[in-house]
A = this chain, B = another copy of it.
Amino acid sequence: MNKISLDDAKKQYLRLKSLNRQVDMTRGRPATEQFAVGMRMLKDADSLQYTYAGGDARNYGDLKGIPSARRLFAQLFGVDYDNVIVLDGSSLSIMYRLIANAMFFGVMGEKPWKDQGKIKFLCPAPGYDRHFAICEEFGIEMVVVPMHADGPDMDMIRHAVQSDASVKGVWCVPKYSNPTGAIFSDSVVDQFASLKPAAKDFRIFWDNAYIIHSLTGEDHHLKNIFEAAKAYGGEDLVYEFTSTSKITFAGSGVAALAASGNNIEDFLSHLKFEMINPNKVNQVMHVAFLKDVDNIKSIMRQHAAVLGPKFALVDRRLEDAFGKDDEYVSWSKPLGGYFVSLNVKGVASQVASLAKEAGVKFTAAGATYPYSRDPYNTNIRIAPSIPTLDELDFAMDVLIASINLALAQKADD
């Protein structure tokens, strides 16, 4: 149990609170210094080649994105050129549109979801709050699936997907997962790829947001789900997403969708009513700057040079405070991505509100669960990217003091 007395915990907390400092760690945003990377993309942008065989990036046309951008993302995803389209900055927008289309028009000729009664999505949790928010927007019932170190609970997913035709989707961040940092194991990827859904219009939403976002300087292995799906004969099963929001500019980059030819065709059959083309000028700049996967890896090492020490600080401070095997406090040690997932048994909401009162804002406790309902009041998402090292050190002081106080108060109850 907690080794600090309630009195000591109070004193420690109040001293920090009295400093009146403010740190915002609510979202996984890049730090300002990281934009030095993207700024190089804008240099001499007027001297790039904007025409290409069959088109001009500055004029209308090419709803799927420019060929060179599609080639680059095909390489990054590890899929064929024909299975990739490249759109504007937000991959969230592609996910939203796919779900809106499914709701209103149906998936590949199936009945619209709006006419199929209750619709359910499986939500591995802790997970990404903006995924869950899209479900709430469309009235889709969310079913919590526990996350393990190697991915979500696949027995539960297989049972639900294969027995219940109202289950139409599952959210995944398969690499450096938001927020746990988990990288799905080959076995988990194979189990996803071999699902035999009860619903023909079930899809895996494979949000590979951190596809190449290592914190360690070297990339980590994630099995290619399309190759696995091909082996099981079900390439229509998967939509894969990524974006350059954390490679170039947040929300001002480009986003891409990888999917089977059938799924791409289905998506474009609606997208063509909504736009003539995405921002292709931005795509030319991105392709000229990013070049190829090896070059992107070297760009990501520059981001890791900024982010790595921040993640190391969080880990070191937590370990100094709670050791390696605390009964109540544990946390993830991510190899990539933007988050540390902290578990403080039964006191997450108390910790987050104590920290907030002392000037340090975390993502609202519970936000990593559907409907913001963390069943054990345990998970807090730490986003260390934005603060400076000095601010982060203070934020960790406050976090640790808040945990000590919340646990001491609980023990005192």
Residues in chain A within 8 A of chain B (CB atoms): 27, 29-30, 32, 35, 38-40, 42-46, 50-51, 56-60, 88-90, 92-93, 96-97, 100, 103-104, 114, 130, 133-134, 137-138, 245, 249-252, 270, 273-282
Contact indicator A46/B50 (Cβ below 8 Å): no
Q: Are B274 and A252 in contact (CB under 8 A)?
A: no
Instruction: Name the 4 nearest CB pairs between A and B, nearest first.
Output: A42-B46, A252-B281, A96-B274, A90-B275
Q: Cβ of A275: which chain B residues have Cβ within 8 Å of it? A: 89-90, 92-93, 96, 251
A127 to chain B, nearest CB (A): 16
Would B250 and A60 count as touching, CB distance under 8 A? yes
Contact of A281 with B249 at beta-carbon distance under 8 Å, contacts A32-B59, A60-B27, A275-B90 already known = yes
Contacts of A133 in B (CB 8 A): 273
Inter-subunit contact A88/B35 (CB<8 Å): no
* 9 A-B contacts (beta carbon < 8 Å): A32-B56, A38-B58, A57-B252, A58-B249, A59-B250, A60-B245, A89-B278, A251-B277, A279-B279
Q: Which of B44, B104, B249 meets A100, CB within 8 Å? A: B104
* Tally of this chain's copies: 2
Q: How far is the CB of A171 from chain B (nearest CB, A)?
A: 14
| Chain B residues with CB under 8 A of A93 | 274-275
Q: A88-B88, A100-B100 are in contact. Are A39 and B32 (CB under 8 A)?
A: no
Residues on B with beta carbons closer than 8 Å to the beta carbon of A281: 38, 42, 249, 252
B residues in contact with A40, CB < 8 Å: 46
Across-interface contacts of A43 in B (CB, < 8 A): 45-46
A196 to B45: give the CA distance in the assembly, Å: 50
Distance in angstroms from A112 CB to nearest chain B CB is 9
Contacts A39-B46, A134-B273, A251-B278 aside, 13 further interface pairs with beta carbons under 8 A come to A35-B50, A35-B56, A45-B46, A58-B250, A60-B251, A89-B279, A96-B274, A104-B104, A114-B114, A133-B273, A251-B280, A252-B277, A252-B279
A338, chain B: closest CB distance, angstroms: 11
Closest chain B residue to A279, Cβ basis: B252
Which residue of B103, B249, B251, B279 contacts A104 across the interface (Cβ within 8 Å)? Answer: B103
Interface centre among A30, A42, A45 (most CB of B within 10 A): A42
Q: How far is the CB of A273 from chain B (nearest CB, A)?
A: 4
Task: Name the distance in Å between A265's Cβ and chain B's nearest Cβ.
Answer: 16
Residues of B within 8 A of A57 (CB): 249, 252
A6 to chain B, nearest CB (A): 39
Q: In the complex, A130 Cα to B276 Cα: how many Å?
A: 10
Residue in B closest to A62 when the chains form the complex, CB atoms: B251
Given contacts A42-B46, A60-B29, contact A251 B276 (CB under 8 A): yes
Q: A35-B59, A56-B35, A58-B38 are in contact. Are A252 and B92 (CB under 8 A)?
A: no
- Docked pose: A32 CA to B56 CA in angstroms: 8
CB <8 Å contact, B45 and A30: no
Q: Is the CB of A279 within 8 A of B35?
A: no
* Distance A42 CA – B43 CA, assembled complex (angstroms): 9
